[in-house]
Structure 1
Amino acid sequence: MNAMNLRSASLSVLVIGLALLAGTANAQGSPQLELPRIKLTADMYQIDVQLAQTPEQREFGLMFRKQMPQPEGMLFVFDVPTIQCFWMKNTILPLTAAFVADDGTIVNLADMAPQTTDSHCSTRPVRYVLEMNQGWFAKRAIKAGFKLGGKPFEGH
């Protein structure tokens, strides 16, 4: 290989490497918008939720998202009920977490301030956590003991 071909090959490897790094950074710095969606109900209100079902989806959650329409949220789905704890590192939006039992009953609610590492936990084991814009539940007088409806909670 002559010097010209070697330089060209090296440049190609560098360009490919930079493109891969940019793609990784973009994937880590961008909100998850392509997750599966389902509808939940809270009395007469419909909620359009994205499902965070894998460890990676749950870990990333709503980080870096700058806005979320009021009737939308994210439902974190875990394999088995356990005490769930959430924090807001890299999360820009103020959120409320509803810790939800298998039958859709809200166990407890926690308002969470953006960009903090304060831990917000369920008061008993749950398999679901629904994050909504802060104030969404309060404005609708939805509290612990309220039952949500939707496919994940059917049959319980």
Structure 2
Amino acid sequence: LKELPFKWSPPAGWPEVRHQDLCVGLVELRMVYRLARPWPATLAAVLALASPPAAAAAARRASDGTALAGRSSLRWSSQSLAAKEPEPTPDEAGLFGPPFKVPLLRVDTGDVAADVQMQLAVTPAEQHHGLMFRRSLREDSGMLFLYARPSRRVLWMKNTLVPLDAAWFTNDGVLREVQHLHPLDLTYRWSDRSDISMGLETPQGYFEKRGLQPGSLKLDLRALSSALTERGFNPDEFLVSGTRPQH
């Protein structure tokens, strides 16, 4: 809302708007504003977040005083906010394939500390999209980013609507760092270490709630190797040698 030249809050009696829904609307509103700036029509897009009927009426009133330039684009955007079905999220559209259960093991005992249903982000397209636009994330789920070359790695929260933890792993599977990531934050969040091969995004607080500390646990590399193979990738390109399942 920093780009808007006014402050706005819903009148009393309007339906409650979930924070995550508001984030989705603001992303679209920002694009509308940059496209053209007749403010009555832009305000109609805001109204759509809380009251589709009111939005439709506001959009009709706004169109009467809207300059010709950008009118059709703004009208389409406000209507889409009010009535368009939500776009399928990447997991629904099949971009990442199915999630795989990859246990987190305790380094000292090898016991299972937690099971995480992980989608794998391996290709550039998958890593670029990540968890963008998802409105929720199950407590036991996450997305694992895999890199072929150990390096200092970075994540950001562009178009990402849920708070996350970023857990950084070396290619031996050991957890090295955990960082908190906040919705829509465009700050680059770099790993401290320069030998990171994997980054796991989970719901924020996942590791803290379970008392899981850097250095105390590791990914089950055999399970991860099987998941990579099922996705059609060579595990040896990402993981330390000797992690393939024994048949």
TM-score bucket (shorter structure) = 0.7 to 0.9
In the alignment, what sits opposite 2:143? 74
**How many Å separate the matches in 1 of 2:88 and 2:152?**
28
Deviation readout 1:116-155 (Å, 9 max, x if unpaired): 1112111212110000000111100112112223234673
Superposed displacement of residue 70, structure 1: 0.6
Match of 1:134 in 2: 204
> 74, 85, 95: which is aligned to 2:154?
85
Contact 1:107 1:123 in 2 (8 A): no
Residue 132 of structure 2 is matched in structure 1 by: 63
| Count, aligned residues | 128
More strand by share: 1
Structure 1: gaps (5+ residues): 1-28
- CA gap of 1:127–1:30, structure 2 versus 1, over 3 A, is farther
Separation in structure 2 between the aligned mates of residue 46 and residue 110 of structure 1, nearest angstrom: 20
Letter matched to residue 40 of structure 1: V
Within 5 A, what are the aligned runs for 1:1-156?
A: 30-33=88-91, 34=94, 35-36=96-97, 37-42=99-104, 43-124=112-193, 125-150=195-220, 151=222, 152=224, 155=242
Distance in structure 2 (CA, Å) of the matches to 1:30 and 1:115? 19
Query: What's the TM-score once normalised by structure 1's chain length?
Result: 0.76
Q: Distance in 1 between matches of 2:154 and 2:127?
A: 12
Partner residue, 1:18: none
Structure 2: stretches of 5+ with no match in the other structure = 1-86, 105-111, 225-238
Q: How far did residue 30 of structure 1 move?
A: 4.2
Q: Using structure 2 for the length normalisation, give the TM-score.
A: 0.49
> 36-45 or 80-89: which moved more?
36-45
Counterpart AA for 1:94: P
> 1:96 touches 1:132 (CA, 8 Å); kept in 2?
yes
Identical amino acids, percent of aligned pairs: 30
Following superposition, the deviation at residue 44 of structure 1 comes to: 3.0
Distance in structure 1 (CA, Å) of the matches to 2:183 and 2:144? 18
Distance 1:60 1:70, change over 3 A: same
